[in-house]
Amino acid sequence: MELQLSGMIPPVVSPLTPDHRPDIGAVRRLTAHVRDGGASALFVLGSCGEGPTLEPAVASGITRAYVEAVAGSVPVLAGVGETSTERALRAAREFEQLGVDALVVMAPMYFDTDTDGAVVRHVTALAEATSLPLVVYNIPHLTHHPITPRALREVAAIDSVVALKESSGEWDTYAALAEAASAAGLRVFQGAEALIARSLAAGADGAVPGIANVVPGLAARLVDAGLSGDSTQAAALQAQLDDVCGVYRSGFWLTSLKAALTELGIIGSTAGQALTPPDADGLTEVHRVLVATGLVEVPA
């Protein structure tokens, strides 16, 4: 596979209209925002993008909108997070037809079967069904199927598997998977914001931070500093990024992220109906963090 991923890849949110349809104008604004900030690719339909929960037609509409907005300037990666391999195959084929450049494959999310075997069968089936490069995505607190180093070593032998995105948030888990991935020649990406600088110092190829929806430039500078070996600068930028991540503490993390983007005038706040929106105190806290980090000015 020719795709060589590196750098800062934002897992972009899915902008929705109040009636829960794709908000095309907001997709274009967010695409420009993260591209101008230094994104090396875009990851759509991940956890930030509500990929596993959107109606299939809405997920396809969001994907199409991002592909069109990017217009070939950077790769677009589409998340495939489904309860079964059968559903994942349907999604993968559709996203390939929509023109994405790679698929980010989570473990199947429902039945509690033998973890390693399920992961290997799942990734193998997707590799056989599509010509796209695959990124293996470990996010066990949401899939309830951890991808182990053993399973990763087996699927890494598949030609189309090119990278690992690790989002457990646990350093020991990350380190073990990163070692297995690197030994197999895969690129390695950290998905947990708090571990970006540490991961880059340990040899990661980049990061996929949700907070980059809000501060893509800061996230890109952090990744660049880490990749260049400037640990002092990376540590300083990591601290700044941690401060912006304070928006997550205002309520449910995803709706708080969308609330921050709403205050910045980039998207609307609509999210999945089951997701708790920030209350008045939560919105106040989002505003406080944006002001404290210099992203919103206080009127004179």
* Catalytic residue status for 137: yes
- Active-site residue among 66, 165, 248, 258? 165
Q: Are 254 and 75 in contact (CB under 8 A)?
A: no
Distance CA 53, CA 46 (A): 10
Distance CA 254, CA 300 (A): 31
- Active-site residue among 137, 174, 248, 258? 137
Contacts of 228 (CB under 8 A, 6+ apart): none
State yes or no: 12 annotated in a binding site: no
* Catalytic residue status for 258: no
Contacts of 122 (CB under 8 A, 6+ apart): 85, 88, 105, 107, 108
Binding site: what residues are annotated?
Answer: 208
Binding site for pyruvate: what residues are annotated?
Answer: 208
Which residues belong to the active site?
137, 165
